[in-house]
Amino acid sequence: MVNLDAFGWRRFVMTRDGGLKLHMQRVLGAPRSVVFRALTEPQELAMWWGPDGFTIPSVESDLRAGGGYRIVMQPPEGDPFYLVGEFLEVAPPELLSYTFQWEDPDPEDRETVVALSLRDLGGTSSELDLTHGEFATERRQALHEEGWTQSLNKLEDLMSSAASA
């Protein structure tokens, strides 16, 4: 099943085997090397990561296959969330994949895998392809879809600002 949303993202909700995965694509107004840095450098990641209203007080990262990361996500109210995982593949500026696990998971959460690939579209723009899953429930998939959409909208704004600077 393929859907287009108001932002032009193509979403594949169900995998062929019935599993719940999220698949999004978007064209960003920056070269893939600039986008890759925004996806991997802690200071840049903190500028766009997380749903609207969240801040990122801390990003720890050992950017290499087998290296780990930890992101502190502070919602507008309440206690912070802690996201942890391991980098599975790091191939600048084209591919990044990692495990994704909440430190104190919801009972419906499980470790998932995020894969981000970047395709050069002629120097001043690139296409980001994101796959995330498999989720245990449709509710958790929808929550992550909303979070990724809001986060990547902020990334798009950041890349547009970088291109015009």
What pLDDT is recorded for position 105? 85
Give the tens place of pLDDT for each residue, 75-93: 999 999 999 999 999 999 9
Give the tens place of pLDDT for each residue, 93-146: 999 999 999 998 889 999 999 999 999 998 799 999 999 999 999 999 999 999
CATH architecture of 2-164: 2-Layer Sandwich (3.30)
Q: How far apart are CA 152 and CA 97, in angstroms?
A: 16
- Report whether 95 contacts 115 (CB < 8 A): yes
Q: Report CA-CA distances (Å) from 10 to 6, 39, 48, 79, 95.
A: 10, 20, 21, 33, 19
Record the pTM: 0.88
Instruction: Provide the token pair at 48.
Output: 């766009």
Give the tens place of pLDDT for each residue, 17-62: 458 999 999 999 999 999 999 999 999 999 999 999 999 999 999 9
Which stretches within the chain are classed as H helix?
A: 32-40, 42-48, 138-164
Q: Report CA Rg, the chain.
A: 15
Which residue matches tokens 């495990």? Answer: 99
What pLDDT is recorded for position 162? 74
Instruction: Provide the token pair at 152.
Output: 């990547």
**Mean pLDDT for the chain?**
90
What pLDDT is recorded for position 7? 47
Helix (H) / strand (E) containing 131: strand 126-135
